[in-house]
Amino acid sequence: MLLGVASAAHALPFTSARDSDVVERLPLASDPSVRRVESLRKQLAARPNDAALRVDIAQRYFDLAMAQGDPRFVGYASAAIAPLAANPGDNAGYWLVRGLIQQFSHDFEGALASLAKASQLDPRAPAALSWRAAIFMVQARYAEALAECARLAPLAEPLLGAGCSAYARSMTGSLQPTFDALSDAVKAAPQAAPPLLLWQYTRLAEMAWRLQRPAIAESHFQNALALGITDQFLLGAYADFLLAQQRPGEVLKLLAGWERSDILLLRLALAGRAAGDARTDEWTAQLRDRFQAAAQRGDRLHEQEAARFELELERNAAKALELAARNYQVQKEPRDAEILMRAALAARQPKAAQAALDWLRTSGYQDPALHLLANELAAQGAAR
C-alpha cells in the first residue's frame, strides 16, 4: 500500500530553447482518471477559493501517483493543497491528503500526526485510520497497527477491517490461520469494491507464497489482475513472484511499456537479464542514471530498489549493503529486511544485518526464504 512510487527523473535536465519543442510525451493522456482531474483543475482556475475542490484534486492526483508510478502527480497534489496550509482549520480532507503526501516522502512521524488530526476532525471516516495502520506496518510497529485496525473495524466495510487486522497478524506468527480467515472474508464479500478486492487478493497471494503454495499464490495474483485496475504494487509483487518461479519471459510481457516506473523498470531489467533480452543493457543504464540522479538530489525514497539494483545488476555488494542498511533505518517491511540480509551475506558482513535478524527473531514472521538467509548469515558469522 505504501510501497514507493517510482521516480522518472533523468541525470541531466534538458532545457528547451523553443516553446514548440516536445520535451516529453506523457503516456497517460488517454487515461479517463487523468482527464477527469484535469477537468477539475480547470474548474479550480475559476474557483480558486474552493477548498473542497482543492482537496478532491489533490486526492485524485495522489491516487494516480500510487497507481501509475509517476511522482509528478504527488507534486501536483501538493501544489493543489498548498494554498490551504496557512489556514487549514477543521478541514479533515486537507489533513488526510497532507498525511498521504508526507508518508510518500517518508516523513512517517509527520504523516502520523496529520492523519491523527484528520481522524480527530472526522472520527467516522476510515481512511486516516487505514493509512495510520499501514505506516505502522512499514515501521514494524505491529501492536500499534492492530490498534488502528481495531478502531477502523466498526467504521469500515467488514472486508477492509478484516484485511487490516489480517495483514498485521500475518507478520507475527499467525500466518496459516490468518490466511484462512482472510480467504473466508474475501469469499463472503464478492460484491466488495474492486480496489479493496485487489488489495486483499494481493495480500492473499503473498501469504500463499510464504506458505509455499505457489499455485494458490498464482491464482490470487490472477484474480487481482482480472479486476482490470492499474496498480503498481500488484505488478511489482507479481513480477517478483514470476522471477522467483524462473519465468522471466512472463515478466517481460506483464511489464511491457512500464519503463517510466523505477520499481517496475528494475523488474524488467532483472527479467531481461534472466531471459537474455537485448534491451537489458539499456534498461540497466536507465536505472543507473536515475539512481545516480536521486542520490545527487539527496532523494532516499527508493533505496530498497537501489540496493537491489546494486546487488543483482551491478554486482556491487558493498554499495548494496550501504543502501540497504540506510533504508532499513526508515522502512522495516519484510522486503526491506530481505535485501539487507542478502546484501550483508554477499558482502560477507553478517553483523550488518543484525537489525533485520532481530526483527525476524522477535516478530515471529514466517517465511522459509528469510529464515534460510538467517541461517546462512549465522553460518557465515561462525566461520569468521
pLDDT digits (tens, 9 = 90+) for 148-164: 999 999 999 999 999 99
- Of 33-47, 187-201, 214-228, the least confident: 33-47
Cβ–Cβ under 8 Å, residues 94 and 51: yes
- What is the percent of the chain where pLDDT is above 70? 92
pLDDT band at 28 (very low <50, low <70, confident <90, very high): low
Q: Among candidates 281, 338, 345, 339, which has minimal Cα distance to 314?
A: 281
Residue numbers of the domain that contains 349: 300-384
Is residue 339 in a domain? Answer: yes
pLDDT in tens, 292-331: 998 988 887 789 999 999 999 999 999 999 999 999 999 9
pLDDT tens across 326-379, in order? 999 999 999 999 999 999 999 999 999 999 999 999 999 999 999 999 999 999
* The pLDDT value given to residue 237: 97
Which residues make Cβ contacts (< 8 Å) with residue 315, sequence separation at least 6?
none
Q: What is the C-alpha to C-alpha distance for residues 41 and 337, in angstroms, rounded to an integer? A: 41
Residues 6+ apart with CB under 8 A from 61: 37, 73, 74, 76, 77, 80
Helix or strand holding residue 377 (H, E): helix 368-383
Whole-prediction pTM: 0.88
Q: What average pLDDT score do residues 221-231 get? A: 95
Domain-located, residue 350 = yes
- 234-243 long-range contacts (CB < 8 A, ≥24 apart) are 234/198, 234/202, 235/264, 236/3, 236/263, 236/264, 236/267, 237/202, 237/205, 237/206, 238/205, 239/264, 239/267, 239/271, 240/267, 241/205, 241/209, 241/214, 241/217, 242/271, 243/267, 243/270, 243/271, 243/274
Q: What's the rounded Cα separation, in Å, for the pair 141 and 168?
A: 9
Residue 342 lies in a domain: yes
Q: How many domains does the chain have?
A: 1
Separation CA 13–CA 299 (nearest Å): 16
**What is the rounded CA–CA span in Å between residue 346 and residue 353?**
11
Task: Supply the pLDDT for residue 16.
Answer: 43
Residue 192: predicted pLDDT = 94
Question: What pLDDT does residue 27 have?
Answer: 46
